[in-house]
Structure 1
Amino acid sequence: MLDAAIDVIAEAGPAAISLRDLARRAGVSHAAPAHHFGDKAGLLTAIAAEGQELLADRLHEAHRRSGGDFLEVGVAYVRFAVEHRAHFEIMYRPELHRPDDPAVIAGRTRAGAVLYRGASERGPGRSADEVRTAGLAAWSLVHGFATLWIHGALPEGLGDDPEAAARTVARHLGVSPG
């Protein structure tokens, strides 16, 4: 059912989700989605939680693979948004799911820890407030870029590679490897 929901979101957006239609697509009884998820918000909460975990895994892997390169972790965020657009569309829309769900919180905390770790590593000796602000700045940059990219709202001339374009924009703002 989650796969069917992700397909619907990718095709037509979250407003197109219908539990009855998902049951038909998944080949299960019309009561199965309600039994497993309770309601539409429960289903979207499961998608948001799955997305947060996938994002956290992707960011941790980028951090490990790049030796903690702050820029490459940001590029991994953009790559995730482009490759998992349906999840991304739900994860940051708290009006669609239950943002206080423990699984959503756990995934969001894991993902945020990597971005904030990069912010603290770039400025040893920073106060907790400075690290929090730097982490928020990093998240804002990559989230905003990813959102603009997937909605086709960026100006022409950046090419067709979201990763290369994200690197160019980040470097312009002084975010460099390391």
Structure 2
Amino acid sequence: MIFTTKAEYGVRLLVELGRQRDRRPRSLKAIAEAEGLPLAYLERIVALLKKAGLVESTRGAHGGYRLTRDPADVHMDEVVVALEGPVAPMTCFVDDTEGEATTPTPRARVLCSHHDDAGHGCATKLLWLRVQGGVMDKLAQTSLAELVAFAERGTADPTPPKEPSLA
């Protein structure tokens, strides 16, 4: 499963907004310059984030974008689904959310599109459902506040925090 630059740049944009402790709007131009990202692409990405209710805009000389919620309340499953759509580990998985209401924590469901073969289900469906569930769980467990804190530590310690033991 490969996420596109849309997810990467969108998360980087949110981290920059999360660094704004005073919650002042920040211009996309300033974010693009700070992160070395293309402004035109950020404009398309921020539109998706705004549609998902993650950011809001302010017009005027001191306008720009800011988060709609505290960074601790923004989780990466919501962000990635807003930017990429449903997370599916295989191309045979299809989105089953059309027409469903948006929930505060979107957990887009995916279904295997293989049809039963002589009474047998898809042999790999369980594996891919577990992979998809594991990825979504890790995204849900990661808040924007954690990413902001990690980014503010700088490059001196690139080691991510240890995962809790499953044993």
TM-score (structure 1 length as normaliser): 0.29
Q: Which has the higher helix share?
A: 1
User: Which has a greater percent of strand?
Assistant: 2
